[in-house]
């Protein structure tokens, strides 16, 4: 079932969903299952699975360093299929511009269609570690709106190069990212909203926001999006703070602001266990306010661990 159909069928009730990260190469999928199991009691209608782009590694060969491209966390589509089969739940693979050619994207989408995966999250992705700015790979998309257009074209039976007699078109529900505090590269929030509108106009069916810690930012973002003509569901993304270092890391990496009350509470913690509890309590407070406002879904960034998300869900759902 499509994410938008789950939202419609909920009749105004706020749904619970979460995002997971594939295990690194050489790790068992059982660890992933162990962290999904405790969250299934809250009946998530869908689970997101991230995709990691390629990165460079250096291998010593005869005294010289040979640069090779690798993916440390492959298997997104396979994991989606495994979760779908094991838990009978819809899965949402993340599809990136970065590191994928248009042809590779088409093959991935065909695989998803064969597997009965009806939802995808279309993202530009980040720049590689050695790049100052994002650069599309040869034959890849520069912008997420272009990726959305390719997915929508496939939904209409239009392939990249082949003339195909289509008797079974895909029907992907397309999610995209939104940024309540604007994307790091956008010169203004208004400009960023114009880019989001382009993605919706290209065929995006719903939006999931970047993490935020002040609900006012989300409500203002939704109002501003509506004013520019964005009328698809906007799902808030929630991340519970887990370690003290997040005070520096999250603003640095995601260019977001943390409320002073949250900062003060975390600075008073002596251990990361205490920080984790503060993060849980803050996320519960956020979630209850958002739920009372009638948001369609509360979407949690679990980062592969479920204990704090479970504690939040127990208090909210």
Consecutive 10-residue averages of pLDDT for the chain (317 residues):
98 97 90 96 97 70 68 87 97 94 95 96 83 84 96 94 84 97 92 97 98 98 97 98 94 93 97 96 98 98 90 98
Provide the terminal-to-terminal Cα distance of the chain, rounded to the nearest Å. 22
Helix (H) or strand (E) holding 181: none
pTM (two decimals):
0.93
pLDDT number for residue 165:
81
Respond yes or no: is residue 165 known to be catalytic. no
* φ, ψ (nearest 5 deg) of residue 93: -75, 140
What's the pLDDT at 125?
Answer: 85
Q: How far apart are alpha carbons 71 and 148 in whole angstroms?
A: 23
Q: Label residue 135 left, alpha or beta by phi (over 0 means left) and psi (-120 to 50 means alpha).
A: beta
Identify the pLDDT of residue 56: 56
Instruction: Please work out, in degrees rounded to the nearest 5, the angle formed at the alpha carbon of residue 83 by the alpha carbons of 50 and 305.
Output: 55
pLDDT at 303: 80
Strands 90-96 and 46-49: parallel
Residue 273 and residue 308 in contact, taking contact as beta carbons nearer than 8 Å? no
Report the C-alpha gap between 199 and 175 in whole angstroms: 9
Structure confidence at residue 184 (pLDDT): 87
Question: What is the reported pLDDT for 166?
Answer: 80
Catalytic entry in 5, 19, 106, 267: 19
pLDDT of res. 226: 97
């Amino acid at each position: 079932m499509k994410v938008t159909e789950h939202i419609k069928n909920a009749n105004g009730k706020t749904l619970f969903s979460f995002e997971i990260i594939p295990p690194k190469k050489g790790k068992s999928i059982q660890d992933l299952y162990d962290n999904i199991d405790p969250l299934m009691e809250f009946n998530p209608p869908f689970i997101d699975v991230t995709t990691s782009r390629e990165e460079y590694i250096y291998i010593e060969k005869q005294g010289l360093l040979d640069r090779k491209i690798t993916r440390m966390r492959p298997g997104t589509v396979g994991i989606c299929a495994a979760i779908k089969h094991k838990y009978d739940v819809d899965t949402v693979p993340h599809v990136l511009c970065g590191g994928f050619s248009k042809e590779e994207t088409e093959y991935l989408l065909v695989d998803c269609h064969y597997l009965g995966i009806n939802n995808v999250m279309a993202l530009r992705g980040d720049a590689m570690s050695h790049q100052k700015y994002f650069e599309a790979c040869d034959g890849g998309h520069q912008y997420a709106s272009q990726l959305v257009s390719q997915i929508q074209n496939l939904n209409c039976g239009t392939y990249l190069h082949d003339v195909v007699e289509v008797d079974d078109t895909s029907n992907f529900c397309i999610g995209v990212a939104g940024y309540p505090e604007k994307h790091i590269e956008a010169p203004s929030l208004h400009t960023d909203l114009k880019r989001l509108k382009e993605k919706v106009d290209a065929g995006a069916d719903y939006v999931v926001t970047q993490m935020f810690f002040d609900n006012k930012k989300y409500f203002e973002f939704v109002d501003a999006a509506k004013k520019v003509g964005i009328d698809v569901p906007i799902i808030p993304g929630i991340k519970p703070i887990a370690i003290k270092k997040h005070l520096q890391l999250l603003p640095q990496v995601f260019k977001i602001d943390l409320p002073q009350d949250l900062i003060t509470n975390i600075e008073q913690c002596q251990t990361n266990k205490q920080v984790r509890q503060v993060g849980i309590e803050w996320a519960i407070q956020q979630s209850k306010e958002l739920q009372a406002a009638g948001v369609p879904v509360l979407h949690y960034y679990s980062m592969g661990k479920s204990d704090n998300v479970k504690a939040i869900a127990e208090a909210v759902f």
